[in-house]
Amino acid sequence: MRVVMFYHSILSDWNHGNAHFVRGVASDLLRRGYEVLLYEPWDSWSRSNLLRHHGPESLQGFRRAYPDLWPTLYDRCTLDLDGAIREGDVVLVHEWNEPEFVAALGRHREARGDYRLLFHDTHHRSVSEPQSMERYDLHHYDGVLAFGSVIRDLYMKRGWAKRAWTWHEAADVRVFRPTDGLREGECVWIGNWGDEERSEELQEFLVEPIRRLKLRCTIHGVRYPAPAVSLLEGAGIRYAGWLANYNAPRVFARHAFTVHVPRRYYAQSLPGIPTIRPFEALACGIPLISAPWNDADRLFTPGCDYLVARDGQEMEQHMRDLCENDELRKALADHGRRTVLSRHTCAHRVEELLEICEDLGLDGSVGRGRGAGAERMTA
């Protein structure tokens, strides 16, 4: 079986958290012996910003972390879909793709009819910007892979797709795993500031507790405006900028705990979707404290896999407890990692994908193809 993947970016994780999951799924498929063809637009927003802010050398780390992943860069206006898809059996299309390109793939699927076409939704726009999602013509798609049951249900309720499955994100545990490191601080937080979707929550659940406890804390991420950086500096927090996603394990290893602060849409309107960050932390064996979110899909066990803080004061108390209690830190880290290894790895999600393919009439047999054909980018 050949799998063709059209994603926003595999090379770059600059403000692109889904890159972790896509890389992990593609890597696991390759390890099983499937042929995987990866495509990303040459002018993807994430890759363009990575190169602009950090230069071409920023891609070298990706090559070392994922030597088997070789995405083809393409121009939407000139891409030969017949040549790109060739003898593909299943084609996955990321919702970060332009609506026109998504529609073109649908027309190609209708004309050829010899492969399965799936749309992969990894964002909150189905709730926050439903009008923008209505621009995507999925009439000729076989279905939608939604990274939460609530999003899956929205696609069916609104008639956007004829079929939809829940396909949660998960951890690539070959990359995200515990590692050794000398302690540099108590807390680390990895996340992007974004579009004011959680600025108040970050202040309540991260900045203020750290300031009051006078803990050593480092924050990694992008799109932090000057006022946000000043806010961090005023609280004694070190802002360290972009961190390549695959380097997160070694950063986690140098801190006592981390924090999850979900964006407002996930906390209030999209129950059951934690985003990739808790999977990463738990896979790396670092204790996690989370601001409130509703685990409606029962992915984890709150209180055992991670601690939950209902407000800033409770967050402060949890932070204090983790700083002082070695046994508590170890119990949380061990339980959380066991949970990820038992049911939330990219290998688990590949198994789910193969079951979906079988449901769509594909036998899922491993087979090698004739090669990518298109010129591949070298970094």
Q: What are the tokens at 126?
A: 């189905």
Region 326-355 average pLDDT: 98
CA distances (Å), origin 81, targets 6, 107, 362: 11, 11, 21
- How many helices (H) and strands (E) in the chain? 17, 13
In the chain, what percentage of residues exceed pLDDT 90?
88
**How many C-beta atoms surround the C-beta of residue 178 within 10 A?**
15
N- to C-terminal Cα distance for the chain?
A: 28
What is the per-residue pLDDT for 16? 95
**pLDDT of 374 over the 50 cut:** no
How do residues 19-53 score in pLDDT, each as one tens digit?
999 999 999 999 999 999 999 999 999 999 999 99
The CA distance from 151 to 84, in Å, is: 29
Nearest CA to 158 among 180, 133, 124? 133
**Average pLDDT score over the chain:** 94
Q: What is the pTM of this model?
A: 0.94
Q: How confident is the model at residue 379 (pLDDT cuts 50, 70, 90)?
A: very low
What is the per-residue pLDDT for 55? 96
Helix H or strand E segment including 307: strand 307-308
How do residues 65-80 score in pLDDT, each as one tens digit?
999 999 999 999 999 9
Show contacts of 278-281: CB within 8 Å, 24+ apart.
278/306, 279/169, 279/170, 279/171, 279/176, 279/340, 279/344, 280/20, 280/171, 280/176, 280/190, 280/248, 281/252, 281/306, 281/336
How do residues 265-315 score in pLDDT, each as one tens digit?
888 888 899 999 999 999 999 999 999 999 999 999 999 999 999 999 999
Region 153-168 average pLDDT: 96
What is the per-residue pLDDT for 318? 98
Spatial neighbors of 362 by CB under 8 A, at least 6 apart, are 1, 89, 90, 116
Spatial neighbors of 309 by CB under 8 A, at least 6 apart, are 205, 289, 290, 291, 292, 315, 317, 318
What is the per-residue pLDDT for 367? 57
How do residues 167-202 score in pLDDT, each as one tens digit?
999 999 999 999 999 999 999 999 998 777 799 999
How do residues 119-135 score in pLDDT, each as one tens digit?
999 998 888 899 989 99
What is the per-residue pLDDT for 124? 87
Q: How confident is the model at residue 373 (pLDDT cuts 50, 70, 90)?
A: very low
**pLDDT of 105 over the 60 cut:** yes
66: left (phi over 0), alpha (psi -120 to 50) or beta: beta
What is the per-residue pLDDT for 196? 77
